[in-house]
Structure 1
């Protein structure tokens, strides 16, 4: 689970750095699509591992009800966005390209979405919300490490 967590972070950061219209810069577009696809595959692996192993991180006592509520809310939002952002990216790609080649292979696009350019805007907004939540998640880990002085951050390293 830790490996999936940190590889997902690298894939999310790569997708964010290379964001933009993949048709305008094919090299960055390829990196963006591959990293977004990696995020989605890792999300699926994370779900399978969780279901099979019943392990979740971090293993730590919750301080109070507010912290428990915030933890669960951010976790649900992060998991939802790990799935929704890559799917919305695929839909956004379908809205701007009637065909797309990725590493020499044709990517199936949903032709009926071609021309619905607002899908790219939705993907971008969701991506920004996701990265903001990741930042909040990182701040919470640092808060636990430096203020609360528990083992939340250490358990993930």
Structure 2
């Protein structure tokens, strides 16, 4: 049995990771941070689009995804909760970011293109705070996800971490 994720899923995983790091490092009010804000918004849009590409890859390669041995039913439940939270965050955090941007300005350009914004949320400042909270919560979940992979590798000595790495 193949114990590795299909290459398209591995590639999508690591591209998403890099984008999440970039977006986190460029966070702030994009209407005031110039190029940094542009990078943040483009990264958020990219994460949102890649979320759907990633879901389609998971569906296409469902039979090729490794079924690693999980030690207990507790781990299975925890895995499903974390996976659901990660996927939900990949969709919800960018939407909250778009709403937050809509609440801050009437017009925002990315590479000379006007982004469609919602005027109905104008001046609802709590949306930006919600986006920030959800983004930080997502980073915590990503950190837990990474810690779990390291625990599997160093304590359980199974193939969970290696299954998401590129093979030579």
Shorter-chain TM-score: what band?
over 0.9
Q: Structure with the greater relative contact order (CA < 8 A, sep ≥ 6): 1 or 2?
A: 2
* CA distances 1:68-106 after superposition (whole Å, capped 9, x unpaired): 111011001101001000010000000001111111001
- Structure 1 segments unaligned to the other structure (5+ residues): none
The 5-angstrom pairing of residues 112-123 of structure 1 reads 112-123=120-131
Aligned length: 157
Quote how far apart the aligned CAs of 1:133 are: 0.2
The answer to whether residue 28 in structure 2 is matched with residue 20 in structure 1 is: yes
Whole-Å Cα distance in 2 between the matches of residues 105 and 91 of structure 1? 18
Whole-Å Cα distance in 2 between the matches of residues 150 and 5 of structure 1? 20
Structure 1: 4+ residue segments shifted above 2 A: 55-59
Quote how far apart the aligned CAs of 1:53 are: 2.5
Q: CA separation of 1:137/1:8 partners in 2, compared to 1, >3 Å: closer, same or farther? A: same
Kept in 2, the 8 Å contact 1:11–1:39? The answer is yes
The answer to whether residue 102 in structure 2 is matched with residue 102 in structure 1 is: no
Q: CA separation of 1:17/1:55 partners in 2, compared to 1, >3 Å: closer, same or farther? A: farther
Q: Which residue of 1 aligns with 2:62?
A: 54
Compute the RMSD of aligned alpha carbons.
1.1
Q: CA separation of 1:16/1:55 partners in 2, compared to 1, >3 Å: closer, same or farther? A: farther
Quote how far apart the aligned CAs of 1:57 are: 4.9
Kept in 2, the 8 Å contact 1:58–1:156? The answer is no
